[in-house]
A and B are shown apart, each in its own frame.
Chain A
Amino acid sequence: MTKRRRNWFAAVTVILLIGLLLAGCWDYRELEKRAVIVGIGVDELPPLTEKGKQLRMYQILVQVVEPAGAGGNLGSSGGTEATSRKAYTNIVVTSPSFANAIERTVALSDRIPNMAHLQLIGVGETMAKNGINELYDFLTRLPQMRRHTEIVVLDGPISRFFTTQSISQPTPALHISEMAANVQQTLVMPDSNLGEVSKSVRGKMPFILIKASLDDSNKISMRHAAVFTDQKMVGTLTTDEMQLLSLLRNEIERGLLSFPCSAGKRTSFQILGGRSKLEPVMKNGRPHLTFELFLETELIEYQCLGASFDKQEQIRKAERLYGAELKKRLITTANKLKDKYKVDVFRLTTRLKNYPDLYKAIRNDPKTFIEQMVVDVNVKLRIRTIGSSLETPSLQEKP
C-alpha cells in the first residue's frame, strides 16, 4: 500500500474512533441519581368525567428508597444520624395513566425512577373490584419489569400499608413482599406474582392473589386470598379454603391441617409433600372429576389424651379417620367454590390437556362445564413421622 493511501485510512479510522469516544454515555447514570422504586400501591378514586367519557382515576403511591437512611451505617462515621433519617419516601400521584404517574414522580423527587427493583405491587380493593387490566397492561409492557414481583391486594388505606415499620427490612414495601414470599412458601397460599397473573390473563383463566389486611395496631396479616375473574375481584377465600383449594390444585407445599380428635380437642398434621392427580371421565354428558390426593404428613400436635402411636394399626386408624375427614372437607369446599364462583378455580384448564374432549368442553364453554362438573375426591393420607413422643399423657392424669 502506498504511504498516502495508508495515511488516509489511518485518518479515517482515527476520526471514526474519536467520534465514538466523544459521543457515548447516553445511559450512564450515577447510582445516586437513580430512584430505586421498591413498591407501588394503586387505588382507585371516583372517576373523572372528561369530554363525556368516564376516566378511571388512580391514586398511585410510589415508594422510593432513600439510601442515606437505609444503609446509613456503612462506611462512615455517620452512625448517630442514621436512625433519625427515614429509609424511604412515599410519593403520591393522581392520574388516569400509570406511565404519566411514574413520569410525574420525577418532578417530585430529584432522581430518575428505575423500576427494576420493584418488589411489591399493591392493589387497593376498590380497584381490584373494578378490574386491573390497565395496570396489567402497563406492567407487562415495560421491559424493566420482572415476572416475580409480588402482587397483593391491600385491604385498607394504602398509605398505612406503606408506612408500617419493620425491623429487618429497610422499607415497608420490602417488608410486605418478604411476608408475601414467606406466606407463599409456608401457608399454602397461591403463587401471587406477576408471572402467574400474566399466564392466567392470557389463558383466560381466573387467578388468586394474596390479600393483606391491617389490624388496629398497624400490623399486617395475610390470611385471605382474593379470587379474580376477568381481572376483577369477585370474592375472598379464607386460609382453610385456600389450603384445601391448593391441595386440589396440586400446589402442595408446607402447611398445616387441623382436625378435631374428640371432645373439642384438635390434632394437627404438617404437610410434608404430596401430589394430586386428576382422573376425569365424561359420563352422561357430565364431566366427572376424581381427584386422587396423596399426602405425606407429620404429626405435630395431638391434644387428646390417652392415645399412643406405637403400633402400626393405630397409625393406620388415624390415617383412615382423618383421611375421610379431609375428603369430606374437600368435597364440601369444592362444591361450595364451584357454585359460588362458577369459574375454573381448580386450575383444570391446563391439567385437562391430555383429555381432548374434556379439554375442548372446558375451552369452549367453561361456565357450563363447571356447573355440570361432579367432583369426587379420594384421599390417601400417610403419617410419616409422629415426632419424638410415642404417646400422649393417659386419661387418668386429666388436669
Chain B
Amino acid sequence: MQGLEQRPAISPTQLFMLAFGLIVGVGFLIMPRGAMEKAREDAWLTVILAGLCAILSLWLITRVARMFPHDTVFDYNTKLFGSIIGSLFNILWGLYFLFFTVTGIRVMAEVVRDEMLPFTPVEAIIGAMLLVIIYPAWNGLMPIIRMFESGLPFTLLLIVMFFLLAYLHADWAELRIPFQEGVTPIISALPQTIYSYLGFEVLFLYYPFVTHKDKAFASTSFAIVAVGLFYAFLVLGTLVTLGPDVTMSQTFPVVTMAKTIEVVRQFVERAELLLIILWLPLAYTTHLGFFFSSAFSFHRTYPRLKLRWWMVILLPLVFILSLIPDNFIDMQTWSDKVGLVGLFLTIPYPLIMLVCIAVRRRLGHFPPPRKDGDVT
C-alpha cells in the first residue's frame, strides 16, 4: 500500500466545518439531561458558559501550536517532554480518540436500534457504519474535509428547521429569569456540559496543514460559538416543550422533544425518526473524524507502519471494543471516563506544555519567542 495524497491543505472555512462537525456528534442527544440535573431552568446559560470555557481552552491550544507551526502534536510532545513521557502522551492521544469513536459509535447504534430498527443486532448496525467510515478515510484527510464541508451546512439547516417545528408547541412560561437560584447551580453543571464540546483539540493534530494559520483561531472559535448557539437552542427547546422535570427523566431528551412535533395531524406520525435521519450524518462526521485522528496519531507515533495499515488494525478493534459494554447505561460510564481524559487534554495539558516551553526556552533549547505579528 502506497502512501496517501500529498500534503493536505485546510482552508479556514474547512477548519470551521471540521471543528463543528467533530464537536456536534452524539452527545447532544443526551446533553440537556446532564445540564438540567443541576441547573434546571438555567441550563442554557450553562451551555453558553461551557462554550466560553471551550474557547479559552482553544486559545491555549493555539498558543502552543503556534510555537511549532510545522509539527503535529506528536512531534513536539517528544521534543518537549522527552521521548518516554512524550510517547506516553502520544499513545494517550491515540487511545483517547479511539475510545471516543468507540463510545460514540455504540451510543449511536443504541439510539438507532431503539427507535428505528428494534430487531437488528447491534453488530450489524456498527459493522455497516464502520464500512462507511473506512471508505473515505482510506484516501487520507482531504476527502474527509471535503465531506465535512459539503455535507454539514445543509444537514445543519435541515435540523435547525426541524427543531423549529418543535417550538410551535412551546410553553414559554417554563422559562425563568436567570440567576434566581444563584450562580452555583450553573457552575456545578459545567463539567458535564463541557464534555459535549470536546472535539476541537484536533487542532493540535492538524495545525500544520492549515493554510492561513493566523485565521485558525478565529475560524475554530467561530465554530465553537456556532456549536454553543446550537446547543443553547436545543436546551431551550427541551425546556420549553418538555419542561425540566420530563427532561431529566428521559434517556434521550432531544428525541423526546422530537416526539412532540406534530405539524399536520396524522401526517408524519413519528417525527423523531426524521430527527434520527437528519442526525445520522452529524454523528457519522464525528466518528469519521475521530477514527481518522486515531489512526493518524498512531501512525505519527510509530511511523514505520503506514497509515492504511493502522486503519486496518484499528477498525476491528473499534468493532470489538464497542460491543463490550452491556447496555447503554454501562456505555455512559465509559463515555464519562473518556470525557475526563478529554477535559485533561484540553485544559491542563496545554498549560503544562506552555510551562514546559517557557522552561525550555529559558534553558536555551528553543529560539526566542515570536512576536504576535509573525505569520508562519
Contact = CB atoms under 8 A, between A and B. Distances in A.
Whether A and B touch (Cβ < 8 Å) is answered with: yes
Interface string A31-49: 0000000000000000000
A354 B246 contact: no
A107 interface: no
- Chain A interface secondary structure, helix, strand, loop or mixed? loop
A1 B1 contact: yes
A160 interface: no
Interface string A100-117: 000000000000000011
- Chain B interface secondary structure, helix, strand, loop or mixed? loop
A86 interface: no
A26 B117 contact: yes
Contact of B269 (A26, A146, A354): A146
B128 A350 contact: no
Tier of interface size on chain B: 35 or more
Contacts of A387: none
Interface string A1-42: 100000000000000100010011011000000000000000
Nearest to A5: B1
A198 B246 contact: yes
Interface residues of A, number: 29
B120, B127, B246, most chain A CB atoms within 10 A? B246
Given A26-B119, A146-B269, 5 more contacts: A116-B270, A119-B266, A144-B270, A204-B245, A351-B173
Contacts of B248: 202
Interface string A194-221: 0100110011100000000000000000
B121 A356 contact: no
Interface of B: 1-2, 41, 114-115, 117-121, 124, 127-128, 131, 169, 171, 173-177, 180-181, 242-243, 245-246, 248-249, 256, 259-260, 262, 265-266, 269-271
B124 A24 contact: yes
B313 to A, nearest CB: 13
A30 B56 CA distance: 54
Given A143-B114, A181-B265, A202 B270 contact: no
A302 to B, nearest CB: 35
A146 B272 CA distance: 9
A1 B242 CA distance: 57
B120 A116 contact: no
Given A27-B119, A146-B270, A148-B262, A203 B243 contact: yes
Nearest to A174: B266
A191 to B, nearest CB: 9
Interface in A168-185: 181
B171 to A, nearest CB: 7
Given A20-B124, A147-B260, A353-B41, A199 B117 contact: no
20 contacts: A1-B1, A1-B2, A20-B131, A26-B120, A27-B120, A117-B269, A119-B266, A143-B114, A146-B259, A146-B270, A146-B271, A148-B262, A195-B259, A198-B246, A202-B246, A202-B248, A250-B173, A350-B173, A353-B41, A354-B177
